């Protein structure tokens, strides 16, 4: 097989086909190409996967389901410790670890664990990045004028009118309006109720009482 004008002795691929290949706890479908399938492992990029395939002399366009057990074990060893296989340091994703000072290559869940610890360390020393993390702001110099906002906007015009902010100038005006409306309602309804209901009741009760008492007195006499 010839790649870029260089002849390589490719390793033997198994004639057996596996529908699912498990590498470092990641289940990869067997129909995926080897180069693409290795990038599904967190911590393995396209360049790293290509370097692994070149080191093991495996055909890159083959399906990952054709890998045998020995090749899977070799891939796992290279991913876990690239330096022992003479991989350059710039392939590693964590150089000069703050705790140990060593160059390491993190994979799978170790990446998220170390990222979380790094953020907590920045917060504990009250660095500028730590402050930005504490307040949920962008850390790497991104613009925040038109992106990255949270919550509703204040003073946005809708239908030609500017809406007041919640609890702002509109709240006292509403309170005053309610205070003015309450006495007016009391003054308007109370006299009307007294003036309208009291005379009507007196008129109805007085004639009825006079009619009942007059016949009763005439009969007794």
pLDDT in tens, 55-90: 999 988 899 999 999 999 999 999 999 999 999 999
Predicted local distance difference test score (pLDDT) of residue 12: 53
Predicted local distance difference test score (pLDDT) of residue 148: 75
Residues of the chain above pLDDT 70, percent: 61
Look at the chain and report how many structural domains it folds into: 2
Are residues 85 and 140 both part of a single domain? no
Query: Is 27 a domain residue?
Result: yes
Predicted local distance difference test score (pLDDT) of residue 77: 94
pLDDT in tens, 40-61: 999 999 999 999 999 999 988 8
Which CATH number characterizes residue 80's domain? 1.10.8.50
- Other C-beta atoms closer than 10 Å to the C-beta of 37 total 22
- Domain membership of residue 117 as a residue range: 108-145
Are residues 122 and 76 both part of a single domain? no
Q: Which of 32, 39, 19, 23 has its CA nearest to residue 63?
A: 32
pLDDT in tens, 20-40: 999 999 999 999 999 999 999
Element (H, E) at 29: strand 26-29
Are residues 112 and 39 both part of a single domain? no
Say if residues 104 and 97 touch (Cβ distance below 8 Å): yes
**pLDDT exceeds cutoff 80 at 156:** no
Whole-model pTM: value is: 0.57
Are residues 80 and 117 both part of a single domain? no
Query: Is 182 a domain residue?
Result: no
For residue 119, what are the CA distances in angstroms to 22, 24, 116, 132, 141? Answer: 31, 26, 5, 10, 16
């Amino acid at each position: 097989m010839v790649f870029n004008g260089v002849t390589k002795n490719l390793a033997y691929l198994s004639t057996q086909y596996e529908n699912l290949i498990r590498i470092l706890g990641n289940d990869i479908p067997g129909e995926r190409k080897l180069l693409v399938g290795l990038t599904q492992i967190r911590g393995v990029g396209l360049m790293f996967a290509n370097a692994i395939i070149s080191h093991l002399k495996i055909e890159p366009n083959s399906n990952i389901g054709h890998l045998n057990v020995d090749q899977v074990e070799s891939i796992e060893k290279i991913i876990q410790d690239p330096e022992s296989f003479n991989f350059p340091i710039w392939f590693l994703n964590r150089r000069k670890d703050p705790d140990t000072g060593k160059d390491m290559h993190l994979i799978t869940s170790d990446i998220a664990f170390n990222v979380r610890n790094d953020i907590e360390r920045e917060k504990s020393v009250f660095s500028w990045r730590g402050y930005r993390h504490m307040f949920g702001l962008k850390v790497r110099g991104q613009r925040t004028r038109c992106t990255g906002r949270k919550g509703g906007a204040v003073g946005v015009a809708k239908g030609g009118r500017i809406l007041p902010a919640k609890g702002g100038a509109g709240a006292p005006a509403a309170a005053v309006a309610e205070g003015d409306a309450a006495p007016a309602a009391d003054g308007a309804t109370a006299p009307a109720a007294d003036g309208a209901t009291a005379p009507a009741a007196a008129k109805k009760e007085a004639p009825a009482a006079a009619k009942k008492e007059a016949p009763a007195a005439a009969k007794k006499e």
